[in-house]
Amino acid sequence: MVRLSDELYAQLQARGRQGIPLAVLVREAIAAYLAEQPEQLRQQPEQPGEQPTRAATASPAAIAAIAARVEELALQIRQLITRLDTLDGIEQPEQPRASERLEQPQQPRSSQVPPYDPTKFVLGRLCPRGHAYGTTGQSLLRLPSRNCPACVNAHKREQRARTRQQG
């Protein structure tokens, strides 16, 4: 059923052909309008109130192109799965956790390093005063404070010397 305003109804009656019912005129006008529209507008939504889906309005060439691209992507996924399976089969050397690396004292890199107790000391970055331990180019640091014992001793000597000068 089509509802028309009084104005539109009067215009249709004035332009209408003699002896042809108004319903036939309206049906012919709608058919002519739809015939002039592009193909995608002629597609009807599946349910009233819904918009037509893009698949319903896509051309067969566009659908074929999409299907080809999906097949390409599926092939790439299968190749990646094969690569991952191959990598799974290769045993990777186990990396120590960060917490384990912090807890383990650094071992000397040279066999000519003077011995030290790794539970109390660790080799680390060269201290500001440049106290190198042996020929390592690193400073021996006391755990857990990571202070250089040579720097601590030098600081104590300096304090004693100042105390002697004052007193």
Cβ atoms 149, 127 nearer than 8 A: no
Give me the count of residues in the chain.
167
pLDDT at 62: 80
Question: Do the domain assignments include residue 55?
Answer: no
Tokens standing for 11? 């215009």
How would you write the pLDDT of the chain (167 residues) with one tens digit per residue? Answer: 667 778 877 777 776 666 667 677 777 777 777 777 665 554 555 555 655 555 456 678 888 888 888 888 888 888 888 777 777 676 656 666 655 555 555 555 556 678 888 899 998 899 989 998 888 888 999 998 899 999 999 999 999 999 999 87
CA–CA separation, 12 and 22 (whole Å): 8
CA–CA separation, 103 and 109 (whole Å): 18
Peptide bond preceding 144 in cis form (omega within 30 of 0): yes
**CA 157 to the chain's CA centroid:** 57
Whether pTM exceeds 0.85: no
Domain that holds residue 145: 117-166
pLDDT at 79: 84
Cβ atoms 139, 133 nearer than 8 A: yes
CA–CA separation, 22 and 9 (whole Å): 9
Question: Do the domain assignments include residue 150?
Answer: yes
How many domains, in total, are found in the chain?
2
Question: Do the domain assignments include residue 67?
Answer: no
pLDDT at 105: 54
pLDDT at 36: 72
